[in-house]
Structure 1
C-alpha cells in the first residue's frame, strides 16, 4: 500500500502540552492562613500514599483534610478506611445499597464496586439498589452484633463523550466547610489533570483536518505521563490502574471518533484509521503531567527493539509463562513440518502457517486474530504438535494471524506487562481482520488461503478477553459495546454455524464442554469467576453446558462451523498463562476428536 502525500511519513506533532498536577494545586490553594481550621474533602485520581502525604502537609497548615480516590471509591474506602472504623474486627455481614443514576446503567455502580464481594474474607455481602444517585450506603454487622452505618460518596458528573453522547463519569470533586463533612464553603466537581490530559489529547485529534480516505495515518502516538497509580487487589488478577484506564479510554474513544468521521456506523470493525497507540506511563517525580500526540511512520525495527526481553526462549511450549517471540513461533512451525505458506501483514511481517494433509476430516486451528489475546497463540502451537503426532493428521495451523498487533503488544508490554493493551487488538490498519472485505487483504489472505487449501469445515479460532476488570472511567465507566466483557466469567465458548449445521454444531459444543471438565482446575476456575461475575454484573445471560458458559448463533459467514474459545488471558503471566494455554490446547484437541466422529456419523 502506498501512502499519499497528506499522510506524513515523518513525525508530525499535533499536541505537546502540560497540565498542572491537581494535588499540587490543591496544596497551594488550601495550605494558606485563610483555610486554617477548615475541613477539606477531595476526590482525585492519585494513589493512597500521595494522598496521605498531602493530608499531612495540610494538617501542618492547620487544615483537616481527607483525600480519597475518585476512581472506584467504594473499593478504596474498603481498603483505606474500613480498617479504621472496624475496631480491629472484620464485619461478618455488609449490606451495600449502591447508587442508581438516571444517566447510567442501573448496575453501573454495582460494577464499580467490583470485586468487593470477594475482597473481604469471611464477610457476606448483600447488594441492593439504593435511593441515592451518588452515595453508597453501607450497613456493617460485626461479631457479637455490633453495627455501623456509613455513606461513601461516588463523585460523578454527566458530560459528553468523544462523540457527544452524554455519559455519567467519575470526576474530581472538592468539598470544603466549617465543620467535618460540611460543604457550606465549596461542594462541586473539579477538573483533574487525569481528565484534562485525556480531553486535551482528544481535542487535538478531533480538531485535526483528517482526510476522507482511510487510512488516515500510519501510526498515531499518544504519550501521556501522569501522576496516577496502580493498586493490586487480592482477588485473582485484579489491579486498579489509572494508566490502564487512560489507555483504554484513549484507544476506544478515538476509534469511536474516527468511526463517526468516516461515516461508518458505531462499532463497525471494518474501519481502517491506522494504528492508534496510547502509551500511558507514570510521570517522573517532580515533572509536570504531560501529553504528546504525534503522527508517525511505521518503524518495525525500532518497535521490535523496544519489545520486552525474551527470558524463556529455551523453555518447551507447555512451560512458557508469557507470549513467545515471532521468531519462536516461526521455529515451532518449522518443527511441525507439512507444507509451508506465508502471507504478509500491512507492515510487511511474515504470517506463516502450515498444512498437514492426511486421512482425517480437516480442521483449521488459528490464534492471534486479536493480538493482545496471547494464550491462543501458544495453545494453537501446542495443539498443532499434538495433532501432527496422530495417524492421518489433517489440519491447517495459523497460530498468529495479526503479527503487527502482536509486535505492538510486546512493545507496550515492556512498560506495562499486565495491562490489557487493547491498542494491540486490531491490525496496523486499525481494523479487525475477520471483517476485512476489500483488497489488499494482507492478514486476511492467510485465513482465506488456509481454508481453501485445507478444505476445513471447522475453524477452531482461539481468543481471549480481560483477566481483570475492564473500565473506561473517562467516558462512562462501562466500555461501550463491550458491556458483557467487563469482568471475567471463566473459559467461554462461542459457536457459530451455517444454516442446516445446527445439529452437528450443537453436538460439537456438548462434547467439547464435557471434555473441558477433565482439565485440572478448570471447572473450579469457571465456577469461581462466574459466581463473582453474577454478584456484580447480574445473572449470566449465557447458556451453561457442563459448567462452561456458551453462546450459539447462526451465520452464513465463515466455515460451516466455527468454535471460538475465550479464555480470560489479558494479560496474565507465569502459572496463570500456562493454565490458559493448556485450556486452549485441550479445547482444540477435544474439538478435533469430536469432529471426526460427527463428520463420520458416529
Structure 2
C-alpha cells in the first residue's frame, strides 16, 4: 500500500458554533448554508440560541427542496408559482433540475414553473387552501470556479451571513468553503500532484476513503434519496476519471481509458471529515469473502428482490446445460457463458456490462430459463460480463445499499469493456466467443441507469457528459445497427416495444417517471413508441449487426421495484427473440 494523504478537515458546523457563541456575537442573527443534515443543523441552532444568537442553518445542497421539506406546511397549499434562476454559466434547466423532485412533492397542488433571471434566488408565491397568500425567497448559494480541467462551473457552495445587533447590514455575507468542499478539492489536488507512471494503468486500485458528516434523506417520492455521501462518491469518481483522461492524452469521453480501479468509499461520521487516499494491490479473495457477508434469500428467480450473488448466478448457469465457455477478468474471476444450439435464429443475451446495473443479470437468467424449455431455442448467454465491477458493487453496498455506486460501473482496469478494442481483451473475450459460437446477428444487451437523481454538486451539479441520464425517465430502448440493417432494426423495435406495453405496470411506471422528468428537465429527448422512449442509430462498431440495449432505472431499487425491473428485462429478451425469427438473415 502507498499512502498519498491522511488528513482531517475541521467541521464547518462546529467552527461556526464556536465562533458565534463568543460574547461579541450575542444578540446577532446568523444565516448559514452548508452540507449537513437537518438534525445536526437544528442541534447547532439550539446551541447558538443558548448563547443569545438567532440562527437559521440550511442545506446548501438542493436548498429549495429542503426549504419545502423543512419550512413549508405543504399540505395546506393549493397552488405554487415557482420562479427559478437561469444563469449564463449553467444549463438553462440547471436550477429547475436542482429543485427535483418538487413537482412530485407538491403533486396535490397546482405548480407553475417560470424561468427567471441570473439572481441566485428561487421565488415562491404560495396560495393556501384557506385563500391566504404568502411569498418566499429562497437563496441558492453558488460559486463560479474553474476545475482542474480548466472548465468553469457554477456549483453549490457553503455561505455565511452574520448581522450584528442593531444593524441591517450583514457584517459577513460571503461564500464559505465548507469542510466537504475543502476535502473534495484536496483529494483532486493530491491525486493530480502524485508521480504516476507514464502509461496506463496508473495503479491497480486507488482507494479514496472519506468519513464525514453529511446528508442522507430518503424522500416520499419513489426511490428518491438525497445524499451528500453519494454525491461526493459520484463527483470524486468522475472528477478523477476526467483527471486521468487528461493525463493520458485521450479525448474527452473516450471510454477506452484504463487508469485502474478508482474506489471512493464515503461513510457517515459525526466527527471532523477525514480523507485517506492510497493505491493498493488487488485482493480479489478478500473482496469476495467480504461480499459473502450479504444475506441472500433462497427464493425463485422471479421473486428475487436484490442483486444476485456470484454463487447464485453460477448455480443458475449450471442448471441450464448447453456448451459452457469462459473468459477471465483482470482480477482472475470467471466470465461464464453458455451456448445452446437450436434450429431457430440465434441471439446473444448479455447483462452486467456495467456492473452496478444489476436487474439485467437476473433478467438474462430468467429469459434463459424460459428459452431452455423451447426445443428449438438457439442462443448464447453471458449474464454477468463484468464480475470485477460486480464484486466492487457488492463491497460498496455493504455501506450504502441505496446508492448508485458508479465506481463499480466499469472494469477493474477502469474502462468500459464495450469499447475495449485492443488485446488483452479479458472480459470482452466472452462476448467474442458467444458471437463466434452462435453466429448471432442480434445482441440483446441488458442495462440500467440511476433510479434517483444523479448529481455532481462540486463540479457544476449536472454530471458532465451524462446530462440526459440525471433524472429517471422510465424504461427505454436503444437500438444500434450496422449499415444496411435499418429495416430489420426498426421492425424489431416496433415489435418489442409493442410487446412490452403489455407488461403489467410498466406503462403506468413510465408515464409517472416521464411526467416528472419533463417538469424538471424538459421534453423527453427520444421518440416514444407504445409508451416507451426509443432511439435508433447507425454505428460502425464490432459485434452483431443489430444490438438492442435496454435501459431500466434499476440502480438502487430493491423489493417489488427490483422484481418489476428484472421482469421487464426478461420480457424484452423474450420479445426480441420472437421478433427476430422472421427478421434474421438466413445464410443463403
TM-score range, shorter chain: over 0.9
Using structure 1 for the length normalisation, give the TM-score: 0.96
**CA offsets 1:7-53 (integer angstroms, 9 cap, x no match):** xxxx0000101000000000000011111111100000000011001
- 1:308/1:413 contact within 8 Å kept: no
1:500 to partner: Cα distance: 1.1
In structure 2, the residue matched to 1:564 is: 549
In structure 1, the residue matched to 2:141 is: 155
**SS of aligned partner of 1:584:** helix
CA distance in 1, matches of 2:394, 2:291: 5
**SS of aligned partner of 1:427:** coil
Equivalent residue for 2:469, pick from 485, 509, 517: 485
CA distance in 2, matches of 1:183, 1:360: 79
1:197 to partner: Cα distance: 1.0
User: What is the RMSD of the two structures over their aligned residues, measured on CA atoms?
Assistant: 1.3
- The equivalences for 1:475-554 within 5 A come to 475-554=459-538
In structure 1, the residue matched to 2:16 is: 26
CA distance in 2, matches of 1:448, 1:179: 73
In structure 1, the residue matched to 2:443 is: 459
1:587 to partner: Cα distance: 0.5
**SS of aligned partner of 1:194:** helix
Equivalent residue for 1:218, pick from 191, 200, 204: 204
- 1:371/1:402 contact within 8 Å kept: yes
**CA offsets 1:113-147 (integer angstroms, 9 cap, x no match):** 00000012411211111124210001011124321
CA distance in 1, matches of 2:128, 2:470: 32
In structure 2, the residue matched to 1:347 is: 331
In structure 2, the residue matched to 1:67 is: 57
- 2:294/2:398 contact within 8 Å kept: no
- 1:219/1:297 contact within 8 Å kept: yes
**Structure 1: unaligned runs, 5 residues or longer:** 1-10
**CA offsets 1:466-518 (integer angstroms, 9 cap, x no match):** 00000000111000000000010001100001111111100100110001111
In structure 2, the residue matched to 1:208 is: 194
**CA offsets 1:370-408 (integer angstroms, 9 cap, x no match):** 000000000000001111111211000000000000000
Asked if residue 194 in structure 1 is aligned to residue 184 in structure 2, the reply is no
Equivalent residue for 1:593, pick from 574, 578, 582: 578
Rate the CA distance shift 1:324–1:337 in 2: closer, same or farther, 3 A.
same
CA distance in 2, matches of 1:497, 1:168: 38
- 2:163/2:172 contact within 8 Å kept: yes
1:341 to partner: Cα distance: 0.6
1:177 to partner: Cα distance: 1.4
- 2:25/2:164 contact within 8 Å kept: no
Asked if residue 111 in structure 1 is aligned to residue 101 in structure 2, the reply is no
In structure 2, the residue matched to 1:82 is: 72
Using structure 2 for the length normalisation, give the TM-score: 0.98
- The equivalences for 1:575-590 within 5 A come to 575-590=560-575
CA distance in 2, matches of 1:426, 1:442: 13
1:446 to partner: Cα distance: 0.6
Rate the CA distance shift 1:550–1:181 in 2: closer, same or farther, 3 A.
farther
Equivalent residue for 2:391, pick from 398, 401, 407: 407
**CA offsets 1:214-240 (integer angstroms, 9 cap, x no match):** 100000000000101201111010010
Rate the CA distance shift 1:12–1:406 in 2: closer, same or farther, 3 A.
same
CA distance in 1, matches of 2:372, 2:288: 31
CA distance in 1, matches of 2:76, 2:37: 24
**CA offsets 1:512-542 (integer angstroms, 9 cap, x no match):** 0001111110000000000000000001121
1:200 to partner: Cα distance: 1.2
In structure 2, the residue matched to 1:254 is: 240
- 1:344/1:351 contact within 8 Å kept: yes
- 1:338/1:354 contact within 8 Å kept: yes
Deviating beyond 3 angstroms after TM superposition, the runs of 4 or more aligned structure 1 residues are: 178-183
Rate the CA distance shift 1:515–1:317 in 2: closer, same or farther, 3 A.
same
**CA offsets 1:336-386 (integer angstroms, 9 cap, x no match):** 000001110000000110000000000000000000000000000000111
CA distance in 1, matches of 2:547, 2:422: 22
- 2:87/2:117 contact within 8 Å kept: no
Rate the CA distance shift 1:179–1:465 in 2: closer, same or farther, 3 A.
farther
- The equivalences for 1:318-337 within 5 A come to 318-337=302-321
- 1:173/1:189 contact within 8 Å kept: yes
In structure 2, the residue matched to 1:35 is: 25
**CA offsets 1:383-441 (integer angstroms, 9 cap, x no match):** 01111111211000000000000000000001100100000000000000010011110
- 1:250/1:278 contact within 8 Å kept: yes
In structure 1, the residue matched to 2:419 is: 435
In structure 2, the residue matched to 1:5 is: none
In structure 2, the residue matched to 1:8 is: none
Rate the CA distance shift 1:596–1:165 in 2: closer, same or farther, 3 A.
same
- 1:366/1:397 contact within 8 Å kept: yes
Rate the CA distance shift 1:461–1:596 in 2: closer, same or farther, 3 A.
same
**CA offsets 1:78-115 (integer angstroms, 9 cap, x no match):** 000112xx7xx611111100011111111100000000
**CA offsets 1:555-595 (integer angstroms, 9 cap, x no match):** 12221110000000001111111110001000100010010
**CA offsets 1:188-233 (integer angstroms, 9 cap, x no match):** 0001011011111111100001112110000000000010120111
